[in-house]
Amino acid sequence: MALMAGAAIGMAGFPVHRPRRLRRTPALRRLVAETRLTPPDLVLPLFVKEGLDEPAPVASMPGVVQHTIVSLRKAAVDAVAAGVGGLLLFGIPAVKDARGSAADDPGGVVQRALADLEAEVGDATVLMTDLCLDEYTESGHCGLLTTAGDVDNDATLERYAAIAIAQAAAGAHVVAPSGMMDGQVAAIRSALDGGGFPEVAILGYSAKYASAFYGPFRDAAECAPQFGDRAGYQQDSANGDEALREVAQDLAEGADAVMVKPALAYLDVVRRVADAVAVPVAAYSVSGEYAMVEAAAQRGWIDRERSILETLTGIRRAGADLVITYWATEAARLVA
């Protein structure tokens, strides 16, 4: 092995290797940067709410809104113009029920929005859909409930299969199951294949942790659990090896790409997954990560743009190929 460059001592007694040489100018730093943040790496989550007349700001996520079908189109066009790699759609239905019926209704809000986006920007970007029930169930849980009030894993899989078909039929290129039910990827893969959508890809929310950092999202998507929490199906933040098992399981079931979520408190998991798999790895920089930076920046406590770019670069450096972030459009412009 070569000697560590820093160990050599030059004539004047100073180290020969001077790392600062390559940090001297912005152009030098750009030339030798190990990690690139580029617009196509970024995926923008978007919320669309049925029955809205005007976009509705999300108080805990300054700059993020619940879209109308019309404002959604505009946000999608903006994102695509900025070069963003994909859009990830979340729907908020007008009516919630025990089965989450609106989730797979062909006239449901996400399905209608998809048809619109497919027409507007479909060829220019990747349309992804969050595939879950929590926005659609009265309970706010990600699945159907047993009479005892537990989330019924296998009954929920049938619902996910139906939602996958509805989203694919409406134009989704990628479905992203986020409910953390065991066997969800297999159920969805077989539904898509059997339903005539073998080309639709699955991005598994494979290592999704039960996280306090989802707090603001639950306002945005109106999906806070009405009782209990999601710790019985989402992962425990103490566990890293378990994430690798979840990822392996999703790949065995047919996932085309995998995700770690949240990002910042789990960068070690992002790195381990990236080292372990040969498929694209996404990391979701979640609502709470967004809110922390926005709130501190509003108070003048941190530099907003630098914090955004440092956050997203750190997630890429940890090994994420794709970063799902509410800053996607803005960050794409900043790095272009």
- Catalytic residue numbers, as ranges: 208, 261
Report residue 34: phi and psi, to 5°: -80, -25
CA–CA dist 226, 279 (Å, integer):
36
From the list 209, 217, 266, 327, which residue makes contact with ligand PBG (rule: CB under 6 A)? 217
The amino acid at residue 126 is V
- Residue showing the smallest CB distance to ligand PBG in the complex: 217
CA–CA dist 320, 302 (Å, integer):
25
Closer to ligand PBG by Cβ: residue 16 or 44: 44
- Contact call for residue 250 and ligand PBG (CB under 6 A): no
Measured from the CB of residue 216, what is the shortest distance to ligand PBG in angstroms? 7
Measured from the CB of residue 41, what is the shortest distance to ligand PBG in angstroms? 18
User: If residue 287 lies in a helix (H) or strand (E), which one and from where to where?
Assistant: helix 287-298
List all residues 6 or more positions away from 82 whose beta carbon is below 8 Å from its beta carbon. 39, 328, 329, 330, 332, 333, 336
- Contact call for residue 287 and ligand PBG (CB under 6 A): yes
Q: Which of residues 167-186 bind ligand PBG (CB under 6 A)?
A: 178
Nearest to 157 by CA among 134, 174, 133: 133
Closer to ligand PBG by Cβ: residue 214 or 266: 214
Q: Which of residues 76-105 bind ligand PBG (CB under 6 A)?
A: none
Closer to ligand PBG by Cβ: residue 276 or 295: 295
CA–CA dist 281, 322 (Å, integer):
6
- The answer to whether 128 touches 89, Cβ cutoff 8 Å, is yes
- Contact call for residue 136 and ligand PBG (CB under 6 A): no
Footprint of ligand PBG (CB under 6 A): 130, 132, 134, 178, 214, 217-218, 230, 286-287
